[in-house]
């Protein structure tokens, strides 16, 4: 009697089916693991930015980097993702009060000339690896940032995928000379306020599943953030689930964190985000 060699068609189909089932079970797990790794890189970026903030404050009598920057759109009322803004020809009356640097943009000062900032080793600190699927995903690339930061050849701004708090809680502005922190780090820490976070600008408010946001990191398949890495002024960084933030903000008129007036900066703090 001859011994059978190889597999029958049915056996092969069974093996293929088992492999397909295992793959279907493992792929979501692997995808979650990759996103968790990206969240960790993002969190480390914000920790470096927190350290740079405290180093800067030590050198400048406890003050935060200036938060008004270019005096246009109402004394620096532009996007909270901008770290650089320059004007050459668009309007000669635009005045650069701080040499083009905005907020945490000061930490990279000198990067274009030396490849290294004063308080940060490289520009990649402003890049979240999870910025892949938003409408402005190009902002999360090194080529984009290098081409714009400290560029004085044209009217240009340099947004990033991280937003920073230049609300009137933290800074004084020409339209509001009163502030809770007056640009001082120690006062901002006592407020429990957020300093920086993953940038998020939904297409509309409240955010609608299926609509791609203009800005957003760590997005799920529907385009909503699964959560935010949040840097507080004391230097601590926490991952806050998206549902927790939205539950607080949905009762207010504006969403996201793209500008200084967003409720993200004034309604969220250490007390209501701690868990």
pLDDT in tens, 41-51: 999 999 999 99
CB-based contact 101:67 (threshold 8 Å): no
Residue 2 has pLDDT above 60, yes or no: no
245-251-253-254 Cα dihedral, nearest 10 degrees: 10
Determine the longest span between alpha carbons in the chain, in angstroms: 98
Predicted pLDDT at 29:
55
Predicted pLDDT at 71:
44
One DSSP character per residue, 11-76 reads HHHHHHHHHHHHHHHHHHHHHHHHHHHHHHHHHHHHHHHHHHHHHHHHHTTTBPPPS--EE-TTTT
Q: Most confidently modeled of 44-53, 58-67, 221-230, 245-254?
A: 44-53
Q: Provide, rounded to the nearest whole percent, the portion of the chain with pLDDT above 90.
A: 44
DSSP E strand boundaries for the chain: 70-71, 82-86, 95-96, 156-159, 162-164, 194-198, 200-201, 215-216, 227-232, 237-241
Average pLDDT over residues 189-199: 96
Residue 251 has pLDDT above 50, yes or no: yes
155-160-163-167 Cα dihedral, nearest 10 degrees: -10
Residue 26 belongs to some domain of the structure: no
Q: For residue 97, how many C-alpha atoms fall within 13 Å in the half-sphere facing its CB?
A: 15
Residue 13 belongs to some domain of the structure: no
CA distance 255 to 204: 8
Taking alpha carbons only, the member of 156, 159, 181 closest to residue 170 is 181
CA distance 14 to 9: 9
Residue 93 belongs to some domain of the structure: yes
Residue 247 has pLDDT above 50, yes or no: yes
Residue 131 belongs to some domain of the structure: yes
Mean pLDDT score of the chain, rounded to an integer?
84
Residue 213 belongs to some domain of the structure: yes
Q: Is the dihedral of CA 45, 191, 72, 206 positive or negative?
A: positive
Residue 92 belongs to some domain of the structure: yes
Residue 70 has pLDDT above 60, yes or no: no
Residue 108 belongs to some domain of the structure: yes
Q: Cis ω on the peptide bond leading into residue 206 (within 30° of 0)? A: yes
Residue 2 belongs to some domain of the structure: no
* Terminal Cα distance for the chain, rounded: 71
Total domain count, the chain? 1
Which two three-digit tokens encode residue 196?
Answer: 């920086």
CA distance 239 to 187: 23
Q: Most confidently modeled of 75-89, 124-138, 141-155, 244-258?
A: 141-155
CA distance 72 to 258: 16
Quote the domain boundaries for residue 137.
36-273
Residue 12 has pLDDT above 60, yes or no: yes
Average pLDDT over residues 137-153: 91
Bridge partner list, 82: 159
């Amino acid at each position: 009697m001859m011994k059978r060699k190889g597999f029958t068609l049915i056996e092969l189909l069974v093996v293929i089916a088992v492999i397909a089932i295992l793959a279907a079970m493992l792929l979501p797990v692997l995808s979650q693991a990759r996103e968790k790794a990206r969240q960790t890189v993002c969190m480390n970026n914000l920790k470096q930015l927190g350290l740079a903030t405290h180093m800067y404050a030590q050198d400048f009598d406890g003050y935060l980097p200036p938060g008004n920057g270019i005096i246009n759109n109402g004394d620096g009322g532009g996007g909270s993702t901008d770290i650089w803004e320059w004007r050459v020809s668009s309007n000669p009356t635009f005045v650069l009060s701080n040499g083009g640097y905005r907020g945490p943009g000061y930490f990279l000062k000198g990067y274009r000339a030396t490849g290294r900032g004063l308080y940060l080793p490289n520009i990649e600190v402003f890049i979240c690896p999870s910025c892949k699927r938003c409408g402005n995903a190009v902002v999360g690339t090194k080529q984009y940032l290098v081409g714009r930061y400290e560029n004085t050849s044209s009217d240009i701004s340099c947004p990033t995928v991280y937003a920073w708090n230049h609300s009137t809680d933290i800074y004084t502005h020409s339209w509001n000379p009163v502030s809770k922190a007056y640009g001082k780090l120690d006062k901002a820490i006592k407020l429990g306020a957020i300093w920086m976070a993953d940038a998020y600008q939904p297409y509309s408010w409240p955010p609608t599943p299926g609509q791609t946001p203009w800005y957003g990191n760590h997005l799920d398949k529907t385009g909503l953030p699964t959560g935010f890495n949040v840097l507080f002024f004391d230097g601590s960084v926490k991952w806050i689930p998206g549902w927790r933030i939205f539950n607080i903000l949905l009762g207010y008129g504006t969403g996201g964190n793209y500008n200084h007036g967003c409720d993200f900066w004034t309604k969220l703090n250490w007390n209501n985000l701690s868990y």
